[in-house]
Protein backbone atom coordinates (compact mmCIF):
# COMPACT_ATOMS: atom_id res chain seq x y z
CA UNK A 1 0.00 0.00 0.00
CA UNK A 2 2.87 2.38 0.81
CA UNK A 3 4.28 1.74 -2.66
CA UNK A 4 0.93 2.62 -4.27
CA UNK A 5 0.75 5.87 -2.28
CA UNK A 6 4.30 6.71 -3.30
CA UNK A 7 3.58 6.13 -6.97
CA UNK A 8 0.42 8.21 -6.92
CA UNK A 9 2.03 11.01 -4.93
CA UNK A 10 4.94 11.13 -7.36
CA UNK A 11 2.67 11.49 -10.36
CA UNK A 12 2.00 15.24 -10.45
CA UNK A 13 1.57 15.59 -14.20
CA UNK A 14 -0.89 18.34 -15.14
CA UNK A 15 -3.45 17.36 -17.74
CA UNK A 16 -4.98 19.76 -20.21
CA UNK A 17 -8.08 19.97 -22.34
CA UNK A 18 -9.70 21.82 -25.22
CA UNK A 19 -7.21 23.38 -27.65
CA UNK A 20 -4.32 22.61 -25.30
CA UNK A 21 -3.09 19.03 -24.94
CA UNK A 22 -0.37 17.34 -22.94
CA UNK A 23 2.42 15.97 -25.12
CA UNK A 24 5.39 14.33 -23.37
CA UNK A 25 4.87 16.41 -20.20
CA UNK A 26 4.69 19.66 -22.21
CA UNK A 27 1.52 21.63 -22.88
CA UNK A 28 0.98 22.15 -26.60
CA UNK A 29 -1.66 24.42 -28.12
CA UNK A 30 -3.01 23.46 -31.54
CA UNK A 31 -4.09 26.44 -33.65
CA UNK A 32 -5.19 24.59 -36.75
CA UNK A 33 -2.03 22.93 -38.04
CA UNK A 34 0.12 25.45 -36.16
CA UNK A 35 1.52 24.40 -32.79
CA UNK A 36 3.21 26.12 -29.88
CA UNK A 37 4.31 25.23 -26.35
CA UNK A 38 1.78 26.84 -24.03
CA UNK A 39 2.31 27.85 -20.39
CA UNK A 40 0.91 30.25 -17.82
CA UNK A 41 2.85 31.93 -15.04
CA UNK A 42 1.64 33.75 -11.93
CA UNK A 43 5.02 35.37 -11.21
CA UNK A 44 4.16 37.45 -8.17
CA UNK A 45 2.76 34.53 -6.18
CA UNK A 46 4.34 31.43 -7.75
CA UNK A 47 7.51 32.84 -9.36
CA UNK A 48 8.55 30.50 -12.21
CA UNK A 49 6.03 27.71 -11.60
CA UNK A 50 4.28 26.78 -14.85
CA UNK A 51 0.60 25.99 -15.29
CA UNK A 52 -0.87 24.22 -18.29
CA UNK A 53 -4.29 25.89 -18.22
CA UNK A 54 -6.06 26.12 -14.87
CA UNK A 55 -4.70 28.87 -12.62
CA UNK A 56 -5.02 28.02 -8.91
CA UNK A 57 -5.18 31.63 -7.71
CA UNK A 58 -6.19 35.10 -8.84
CA UNK A 59 -3.70 37.82 -9.66
CA UNK A 60 -1.47 38.84 -12.54
CA UNK A 61 -1.13 35.97 -15.03
CA UNK A 62 1.26 35.72 -17.96
CA UNK A 63 0.21 33.58 -20.96
CA UNK A 64 3.17 32.41 -23.07
CA UNK A 65 3.38 30.61 -26.42
CA UNK A 66 6.75 29.32 -27.65
CA UNK A 67 6.30 28.64 -31.34
CA UNK A 68 6.83 25.11 -32.65
CA UNK A 69 5.82 26.10 -36.19
CA UNK A 70 7.70 28.82 -38.08
CA UNK A 71 4.45 30.02 -39.61
CA UNK A 72 3.40 31.53 -36.27
CA UNK A 73 6.26 34.06 -36.45
CA UNK A 74 4.69 35.49 -39.60
CA UNK A 75 1.07 35.11 -38.54
CA UNK A 76 -1.14 37.85 -37.14
CA UNK A 77 -2.24 36.62 -33.69
CA UNK A 78 -4.89 37.92 -31.35
CA UNK A 79 -5.78 36.64 -27.89
CA UNK A 80 -9.08 36.91 -26.05
CA UNK A 81 -10.28 35.78 -22.62
CA UNK A 82 -14.03 35.59 -22.01
CA UNK A 83 -16.19 34.48 -19.13
CA UNK A 84 -17.49 30.97 -19.80
CA UNK A 85 -21.14 31.82 -20.35
CA UNK A 86 -21.78 28.82 -22.61
CA UNK A 87 -22.98 26.56 -19.80
CA UNK A 88 -20.82 23.77 -21.25
CA UNK A 89 -17.90 24.05 -18.84
CA UNK A 90 -14.87 22.08 -20.00
CA UNK A 91 -16.52 21.09 -23.28
CA UNK A 92 -17.04 24.56 -24.71
CA UNK A 93 -15.69 24.79 -28.28
CA UNK A 94 -15.34 27.46 -30.94
CA UNK A 95 -18.84 26.82 -32.30
CA UNK A 96 -20.22 27.55 -28.82
CA UNK A 97 -18.15 30.73 -28.48
CA UNK A 98 -19.30 31.91 -31.92
CA UNK A 99 -22.94 31.68 -30.79
CA UNK A 100 -22.48 34.03 -27.83
CA UNK A 101 -24.77 36.98 -28.54
CA UNK A 102 -22.65 39.60 -26.76
CA UNK A 103 -19.06 38.44 -27.16
CA UNK A 104 -17.65 41.85 -26.25
CA UNK A 105 -19.78 41.89 -23.09
CA UNK A 106 -18.37 38.49 -22.07
CA UNK A 107 -14.79 39.50 -22.86
CA UNK A 108 -12.55 40.30 -19.89
CA UNK A 109 -9.33 40.71 -21.89
CA UNK A 110 -8.47 41.27 -25.54
CA UNK A 111 -5.12 41.74 -27.28
CA UNK A 112 -5.65 42.91 -30.88
CA UNK A 113 -4.04 41.16 -33.89
CA UNK A 114 -0.29 41.58 -34.14
CA UNK A 115 2.66 39.84 -35.76
CA UNK A 116 5.05 38.80 -32.97
CA UNK A 117 8.13 36.93 -34.26
CA UNK A 118 9.82 34.33 -32.08
CA UNK A 119 7.19 33.95 -29.36
CA UNK A 120 4.01 35.43 -27.94
CA UNK A 121 3.08 36.56 -24.45
CA UNK A 122 0.29 38.62 -22.90
CA UNK A 123 -0.44 39.66 -19.32
CA UNK A 124 -3.84 39.88 -17.64
CA UNK A 125 -4.83 40.31 -14.01
CA UNK A 126 -7.69 38.15 -12.73
CA UNK A 127 -9.31 39.90 -9.79
CA UNK A 128 -11.98 37.26 -9.22
CA UNK A 129 -12.07 33.46 -9.50
CA UNK A 130 -14.31 31.84 -12.08
CA UNK A 131 -14.60 29.88 -15.31
CA UNK A 132 -13.14 31.41 -18.45
CA UNK A 133 -12.39 30.56 -22.08
CA UNK A 134 -9.20 31.49 -23.86
CA UNK A 135 -9.44 32.10 -27.61
CA UNK A 136 -6.28 32.31 -29.74
CA UNK A 137 -6.69 33.26 -33.41
CA UNK A 138 -3.83 33.10 -35.91
CA UNK A 139 -3.96 34.40 -39.47
CA UNK A 140 -0.96 32.96 -41.36
CA UNK A 141 0.53 35.13 -44.08
CA UNK A 142 -0.32 32.60 -46.80
CA UNK A 143 -3.79 31.58 -45.53
CA UNK A 144 -7.24 32.64 -46.72
CA UNK A 145 -8.87 32.31 -43.32
CA UNK A 146 -7.71 32.32 -39.69
CA UNK A 147 -7.18 29.32 -37.43
CA UNK A 148 -8.60 29.31 -33.91
CA UNK A 149 -7.83 27.45 -30.68
CA UNK A 150 -10.28 27.49 -27.77
CA UNK A 151 -9.41 26.33 -24.26
CA UNK A 152 -11.74 26.54 -21.24
CA UNK A 153 -9.95 27.06 -17.92
CA UNK A 154 -10.63 27.96 -14.31
CA UNK A 155 -9.07 30.59 -12.08
CA UNK A 156 -8.86 30.28 -8.32
CA UNK A 157 -9.73 26.59 -8.12
CA UNK A 158 -7.13 24.13 -6.94
CA UNK A 159 -9.32 21.06 -7.36
CA UNK A 160 -8.90 17.85 -5.42
CA UNK A 161 -5.52 16.96 -6.88
CA UNK A 162 -4.63 13.27 -6.77
CA UNK A 163 -6.44 12.48 -3.52
CA UNK A 164 -9.50 10.90 -5.19
CA UNK A 165 -7.15 8.54 -7.05
CA UNK A 166 -5.33 7.70 -3.83
CA UNK A 167 -8.61 6.96 -2.01
CA UNK A 168 -9.84 4.75 -4.86
CA UNK A 169 -6.53 2.87 -4.88
CA UNK A 170 -6.74 2.31 -1.12
CA UNK A 171 -10.32 1.02 -1.32
CA UNK A 172 -9.56 -1.32 -4.25
CA UNK A 173 -6.42 -2.65 -2.56
CA UNK A 174 -8.29 -3.28 0.71
CA UNK A 175 -11.11 -5.08 -1.12
CA UNK A 176 -8.54 -7.23 -2.90
CA UNK A 177 -6.89 -8.16 0.42
CA UNK A 178 -10.28 -9.01 1.97
CA UNK A 179 -11.17 -11.12 -1.06
CA UNK A 180 -7.84 -12.97 -1.02
CA UNK A 181 -8.13 -13.73 2.70
CA UNK A 182 -11.76 -14.87 2.46
CA UNK A 183 -12.99 -12.13 4.82
CA UNK A 184 -15.13 -10.49 2.13
CA UNK A 185 -16.93 -13.77 1.38
CA UNK A 186 -17.53 -14.43 5.10
CA UNK A 187 -18.79 -10.89 5.66
CA UNK A 188 -21.23 -11.13 2.74
CA UNK A 189 -22.41 -14.50 4.09
CA UNK A 190 -23.15 -13.02 7.52
CA UNK A 191 -24.85 -10.00 5.93
CA UNK A 192 -27.08 -12.26 3.85
CA UNK A 193 -28.12 -14.30 6.90
CA UNK A 194 -28.85 -11.32 9.16
CA UNK A 195 -29.92 -8.55 6.74
CA UNK A 196 -30.99 -10.07 3.39
CA UNK A 197 -32.31 -6.74 2.12
CA UNK A 198 -28.98 -5.01 2.72
CA UNK A 199 -27.16 -7.97 1.12
CA UNK A 200 -29.28 -7.63 -2.03
CA UNK A 201 -28.53 -3.90 -2.15
CA UNK A 202 -24.78 -4.51 -1.90
CA UNK A 203 -24.89 -7.14 -4.65
CA UNK A 204 -26.92 -4.85 -6.92
CA UNK A 205 -24.48 -2.00 -6.32
CA UNK A 206 -21.54 -4.24 -7.22
CA UNK A 207 -23.26 -5.43 -10.39
CA UNK A 208 -24.18 -1.89 -11.45
CA UNK A 209 -20.64 -0.68 -10.81
CA UNK A 210 -19.24 -3.57 -12.83
CA UNK A 211 -21.65 -2.90 -15.68
CA UNK A 212 -20.87 0.82 -15.85
CA UNK A 213 -17.14 0.21 -15.53
CA UNK A 214 -17.15 -2.13 -18.49
CA UNK A 215 -19.30 0.03 -20.73
CA UNK A 216 -17.48 -0.25 -24.04
CA UNK A 217 -19.02 -0.35 -27.49
CA UNK A 218 -20.44 -3.53 -29.02
CA UNK A 219 -18.70 -2.89 -32.31
CA UNK A 220 -20.54 -3.82 -35.49
CA UNK A 221 -23.49 -5.32 -33.65
CA UNK A 222 -27.19 -4.57 -33.63
CA UNK A 223 -26.79 -4.46 -29.85
CA UNK A 224 -24.67 -1.31 -30.04
CA UNK A 225 -26.04 1.16 -27.52
CA UNK A 226 -27.99 4.20 -28.61
CA UNK A 227 -27.03 7.46 -26.92
CA UNK A 228 -29.79 10.07 -26.66
CA UNK A 229 -28.88 13.74 -27.22
CA UNK A 230 -29.32 16.33 -24.47
CA UNK A 231 -32.50 17.89 -25.89
CA UNK A 232 -33.69 14.50 -27.18
CA UNK A 233 -33.66 15.51 -30.84
CA UNK A 234 -31.37 12.67 -31.95
CA UNK A 235 -30.03 9.26 -31.04
CA UNK A 236 -26.53 8.11 -31.95
CA UNK A 237 -24.70 4.80 -32.07
CA UNK A 238 -20.93 4.55 -32.40
CA UNK A 239 -18.86 1.81 -33.99
CA UNK A 240 -15.05 2.16 -33.60
CA UNK A 241 -12.87 0.24 -35.99
CA UNK A 242 -10.77 -1.03 -33.05
CA UNK A 243 -12.15 -3.85 -30.92
CA UNK A 244 -11.22 -3.61 -28.16
CA UNK A 245 -10.24 0.05 -28.06
CA UNK A 246 -6.49 0.45 -27.57
CA UNK A 247 -4.42 3.15 -25.92
CA UNK A 248 -2.40 5.54 -28.13
CA UNK A 249 -3.72 4.15 -31.40
CA UNK A 250 -5.14 6.47 -34.07
CA UNK A 251 -8.35 4.98 -35.40
CA UNK A 252 -11.71 5.81 -36.99
CA UNK A 253 -15.31 5.63 -35.87
CA UNK A 254 -18.53 5.26 -37.79
CA UNK A 255 -21.41 6.99 -36.01
CA UNK A 256 -25.04 6.61 -37.02
CA UNK A 257 -27.36 9.53 -36.36
CA UNK A 258 -31.14 9.15 -36.30
CA UNK A 259 -34.13 11.02 -35.00
CA UNK A 260 -35.81 9.34 -32.06
CA UNK A 261 -38.33 7.69 -34.40
CA UNK A 262 -35.49 6.01 -36.32
CA UNK A 263 -35.29 8.36 -39.33
CA UNK A 264 -31.68 8.70 -40.59
CA UNK A 265 -30.19 12.20 -40.34
CA UNK A 266 -28.42 12.59 -43.66
CA UNK A 267 -27.27 16.21 -43.90
CA UNK A 268 -25.80 17.10 -40.51
CA UNK A 269 -22.63 18.92 -39.54
CA UNK A 270 -20.88 16.81 -36.89
CA UNK A 271 -18.45 18.36 -34.42
CA UNK A 272 -16.30 16.28 -32.05
CA UNK A 273 -14.76 17.14 -28.71
CA UNK A 274 -14.50 15.45 -25.32
CA UNK A 275 -12.06 14.33 -22.68
CA UNK A 276 -11.72 12.72 -19.26
CA UNK A 277 -14.01 14.40 -16.68
CA UNK A 278 -12.03 12.97 -13.76
CA UNK A 279 -8.79 14.51 -15.04
CA UNK A 280 -10.15 17.73 -16.57
CA UNK A 281 -8.43 17.29 -19.92
CA UNK A 282 -9.62 16.91 -23.46
CA UNK A 283 -8.92 14.62 -26.37
CA UNK A 284 -5.24 14.43 -27.37
CA UNK A 285 -6.13 14.80 -31.07
CA UNK A 286 -8.55 16.88 -33.15
CA UNK A 287 -10.87 14.28 -34.67
CA UNK A 288 -13.18 15.33 -37.48
CA UNK A 289 -16.19 13.97 -39.36
CA UNK A 290 -14.77 13.62 -42.87
CA UNK A 291 -17.48 11.82 -44.85
CA UNK A 292 -21.18 11.00 -44.89
CA UNK A 293 -21.35 7.29 -45.72
CA UNK A 294 -25.06 7.38 -46.42
CA UNK A 295 -28.20 6.53 -44.47
CA UNK A 296 -27.20 8.73 -41.52
CA UNK A 297 -23.76 7.13 -41.06
CA UNK A 298 -20.74 9.44 -40.70
CA UNK A 299 -17.02 8.65 -40.73
CA UNK A 300 -14.94 10.21 -37.93
CA UNK A 301 -11.18 10.13 -38.35
CA UNK A 302 -8.34 10.96 -35.96
CA UNK A 303 -9.66 9.38 -32.76
CA UNK A 304 -7.08 8.53 -30.09
CA UNK A 305 -7.13 7.91 -26.33
CA UNK A 306 -3.81 8.25 -24.53
CA UNK A 307 -4.60 6.73 -21.13
CA UNK A 308 -6.91 4.30 -19.37
CA UNK A 309 -10.01 5.49 -17.54
CA UNK A 310 -13.42 6.98 -18.18
CA UNK A 311 -13.74 9.10 -21.34
CA UNK A 312 -16.56 11.19 -22.74
CA UNK A 313 -16.87 11.95 -26.45
CA UNK A 314 -19.24 14.82 -27.21
CA UNK A 315 -20.79 14.99 -30.68
CA UNK A 316 -22.47 18.23 -31.71
CA UNK A 317 -25.11 17.64 -34.39
CA UNK A 318 -26.33 20.55 -36.50
CA UNK A 319 -28.93 20.01 -39.23
CA UNK A 320 -29.62 23.69 -39.76
CA UNK A 321 -33.11 23.30 -38.33
CA UNK A 322 -31.96 21.71 -35.08
CA UNK A 323 -28.76 21.63 -33.06
CA UNK A 324 -28.09 19.22 -30.22
CA UNK A 325 -25.30 17.33 -28.46
CA UNK A 326 -24.85 13.75 -27.39
CA UNK A 327 -22.37 12.49 -24.82
CA UNK A 328 -20.87 9.04 -25.45
CA UNK A 329 -19.26 7.52 -22.36
CA UNK A 330 -16.75 4.70 -22.47
CA UNK A 331 -14.24 3.04 -20.18
CA UNK A 332 -10.74 2.04 -21.27
**pLDDT tens per residue across all 332 residues of the chain:** 444 444 444 433 334 445 677 665 578 899 988 999 999 999 888 888 888 878 989 999 999 999 998 899 999 999 999 999 998 888 888 889 999 999 999 999 999 999 999 899 999 999 999 999 999 999 998 888 999 999 999 998 755 555 566 777 788 877 777 766 667 666 766 666 666 666 566 555 555 544 444 344 433 334 457 899 999 999 999 999 888 888 888 999 999 999 999 999 999 999 999 998 887 788 889 999 999 999 999 999 999 998 888 899 999 999 999 999 999 988 88
- Confidence (pLDDT) at 66: 93
pTM of the model: 0.49
- Confidence (pLDDT) at 65: 93
Residue 265 DSSP code: -
Query: CA neighbours within 13 Å on the CB side: how many for 223?
Result: 4
Question: What's domain 13-155's architecture?
Answer: Sandwich (2.60)
Give the residue from 316, 153, 176 showing the smallest Cα distance to 233.
316
Cβ atoms 330, 245 nearer than 8 A: yes
Interatomic CA distance for residues 244 and 216, integer angstroms: 8
- Confidence (pLDDT) at 23: 61
Three-class SS state of 41 = strand
Write the pLDDT tens digit of every residue in 73-125. Answer: 999 999 999 999 998 888 888 889 999 999 999 999 999 999 999 899 999 99
**Residue-by-residue DSSP string for 46-105:** HTT-EESS-BSS-EEEEEEEEESSGGGGGSEEEEEEEE--SS-GGG--HHHHHT-TTHHH
321 dihedral zone (left: phi>0; alpha: psi -120 to 50; beta) = alpha
- Whole-number Cα distances in Å, 11 to 76, 165, 180, 276: 38, 11, 28, 17
- Confidence (pLDDT) at 99: 92
Give the residue from 30, 13, 34, 271 showing the smallest Cα distance to 134.
30
Residue 168 CA, distance from chain mean position: 21
Interatomic CA distance for residues 19 and 36, integer angstroms: 11
Cβ atoms 289, 299 nearer than 8 A: yes
Interatomic CA distance for residues 119 and 243, integer angstroms: 42
Please name the fold of domain 227-331: Immunoglobulin-like (2.60.40)
Domain range summary for the chain, segments of one domain joined by +:
13-155, 163-213, 227-331
If 0-12 CB within 10 Å is exposed, 13-18 middle and 19+ buried, where does residue 127 land?
exposed
Give the residue from 62, 90, 190, 210 showing the smallest Cα distance to 150.
90
**Residue-by-residue DSSP string for 204-255:** HHHHHHHHHHT----TTSTTPPPEE-TTSSEEEEEEESSSS--TT--EEEEE
Interatomic CA distance for residues 12 and 169, integer angstroms: 16
Write the pLDDT tens digit of every residue in 285-313. Answer: 999 999 999 999 999 999 999 888 889 99
Amino acid sequence: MALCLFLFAGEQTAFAHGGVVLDEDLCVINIGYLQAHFKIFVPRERERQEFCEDIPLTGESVFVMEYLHAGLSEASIDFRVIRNVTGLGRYAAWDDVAQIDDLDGATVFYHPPAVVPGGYSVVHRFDEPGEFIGVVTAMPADADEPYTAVFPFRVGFTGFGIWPLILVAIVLLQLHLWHASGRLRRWLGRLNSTHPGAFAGVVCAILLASESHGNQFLSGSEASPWFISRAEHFRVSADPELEPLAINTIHRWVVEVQTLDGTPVVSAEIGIRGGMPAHDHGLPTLPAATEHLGNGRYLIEGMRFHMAGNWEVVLSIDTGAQRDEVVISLEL
